[in-house]
Amino acid sequence: MRRVVVTGLGALTPIGNNVSEYLNGLQNGVSGAAEITHFDASKFKTQFACEVKGFNAKEMLDAKSARRLDPFAQYAVYVTREAMKDSGLDLEKIDLDRAGVIWGSGIGGFSTIEHELMAFSNGDGTPRFNPFLIPKLIADIAAGQLSIEYGFRGINYATVSACASSTHALCNSFDYIRWGRADIMIAGGSEAAVTNAGIGGFNAMKALSTRNDDPTTASRPFDKDREGFVLGEGAGSLILEELEHAKARGAKIYAEIVGCGMTADAHHMTAPHPEGLGAKNVMVQALNDAKMNPEDLDYVNVHGTSTPLGDIAETKAIRSVFGDSAYQLNISSTKSMTGHLLGAAGAIEAIAGILAVNHKFVPPTINHFTDDPDIDPKLNLTFNEAQDREVRSVLSNTFGFGGHNSSVIFRKFES
C-alpha cells in the first residue's frame, strides 16, 4: 500500500491560537483553564473551562463565514487555512477530484441549537428560526464547508464518535490515501461545547471537575485526587498526502502516519471497560497495522481525561500491551493543559505527538501532586515538566462515550 505523510498543520487550542503558540504552551506546561467567559456560569457546579482565547470570528474569518457558521465550523475553517498555508499546496497544480475532507466533531453546532431553542422558548410562541439553523448545527457542515473553500471534490464526510471523532477522521483519511482512493486529505476535528447545556449536561453526569477555587490545577490526570475532566474547545487540522505526491512538489514532511486502530468496548454507555479491554485491543491493532513491536514505540499521548475510572483503565491497557517495554516509554496526557476537546481531542493531540517528533521533547502531564496507588508507579507519566527525548514514533489514543476507541501512530519520516 502507498505511504502517507503529514505536510501541513493547523491548531486552535486553549493554550495557543496557532501551531507555534500551541507548541510553546506544550513545552512550558501551560494550563488553559480559567473562569468561563462565554456565558454566566455562576450557578453551575463547574464555573470554569479551557476556552479558546482571543478568537473573534469577524476578525479571523470573512463576514459571511462568521455569520453562517456555528463556532465549531468557524474553528474548522480557521485551522484549515493555517494547515493549507503551511502545506504549500497549489490548488491549480493538484487533481481536485482526488482531494478530500474528513472532519470529526462529537456534537457539532451545540451553541446554535441552544441559542435558537432558548430564543424560541422565551418568545411569544411564534416560530421564528434562523434560516441557517439546520446547516449551522449539523456535524457534517464543517467537512462540506472545507470542500467548498478549496474546491476539493473527492471523499467528503464527517466522523461522529464522541471523543474519538477526529482520530477516526485521521484513520479513515489515512486508509483512503494508502488504498489509492485519494492523494490529499484534510483531516481533523473541531468542537465548541462550552455552553450552558454543555457544562450543565456534563455536570449532571458528574463527569466534570468542580475545583472552582483553583481551575488551573483542575485537570490532573493520574493524580490520586482527580475528580473529573475540564471541558475544552478548539480545533486541529492535518494535511495528509501520498508520499510520492508530496515529494514531487518538494513538500515539507512533518511525519509519516504508519498505523491505525479502531475498536469498541462493547461494555457501557459512558464507563470504560474496567480492564481497559477496548483500549488494549485498539493499541494492538495500531501496532500491528504499523508492523511495529511494542519496544519500537517511544511515546504514548494517552486519552488521560482525569477521570477516576478512565485513567486507571488506560494505564492497565498500556501495561498489558507493552509489557516491560511500558517502562521505557514516555506517557503523557496533554489534556492536563488543554482540557478535553471532545471530538477535537484526537486532532490536537495528534499534532502534539507530531510536534514531539519534530522538536525532540515529550509534553508533560501537569498538575501532578499525589501518586495514585492504583496506577503502576514505574510508568513514566512525564509529570509536571516536559522531557527532552528523541521521539521517533508516537501513538495517540482517543476513547469516546459509547465505547468508541481509536489510535493512530506517527513516525519520524525516513525516505
SS3 content of the chain, % helix, strand, coil (to 5): 40, 20, 40
CB crowding 233-271: b at 16 or more within 10 Å, else e: bbbbbbbbbbbebbeeeebebbbbbbbbbbbbbeeeeee
User: Is 340 labeled as catalytic in the residue annotation?
Assistant: yes
Taking the C-alpha atoms of 221, 346, 390 and 280 in order, what is their torsion angle to the nearest 10 degrees?
Answer: 70
Catalytic residue among 273, 340, 368, 404: 340
* CB-CB contact of 221 with 321 (8 Å): no
Which distant-in-sequence residues (6+ apart) come within 8 Å of 345 by Cβ? 163, 166, 189, 191, 232, 303, 335, 398
d(Cα 392, Cα 297) in Å, to the nearest integer?
Answer: 8
205 is written with which cell numbers? 453526569
1 CB neighbour count, 10 Å cutoff: 9
* CB-CB contact of 58 with 70 (8 Å): no
* CB-CB contact of 339 with 208 (8 Å): no
d(Cα 130, Cα 261) in Å, to the nearest integer?
Answer: 40
d(Cα 361, Cα 357) in Å, to the nearest integer?
Answer: 7
Catalytic residue among 163, 171, 245, 368: 163
d(Cα 162, Cα 401) in Å, to the nearest integer?
Answer: 6
**What distances in angstroms separate CA 63 from CA 22, 74, 130, 270, one per listed residue?**
26, 11, 17, 39
Beta bridge partners of 396: 301, 408
Q: Grid cell 485519494 — which residue?
A: 182
* CB-CB contact of 184 with 88 (8 Å): no
Taking the C-alpha atoms of 342, 343, 347 and 352 in order, what is their torsion angle to the nearest 10 degrees?
Answer: 10
Catalytic residue among 273, 303, 368, 404: 303
* DSSP letter assigned to residue 128: -
User: Is 303 labeled as catalytic in the residue annotation?
Assistant: yes
d(Cα 225, Cα 306) in Å, to the nearest integer?
Answer: 9
* CB-CB contact of 239 with 84 (8 Å): yes
Catalytic residue ranges: 163, 303, 340
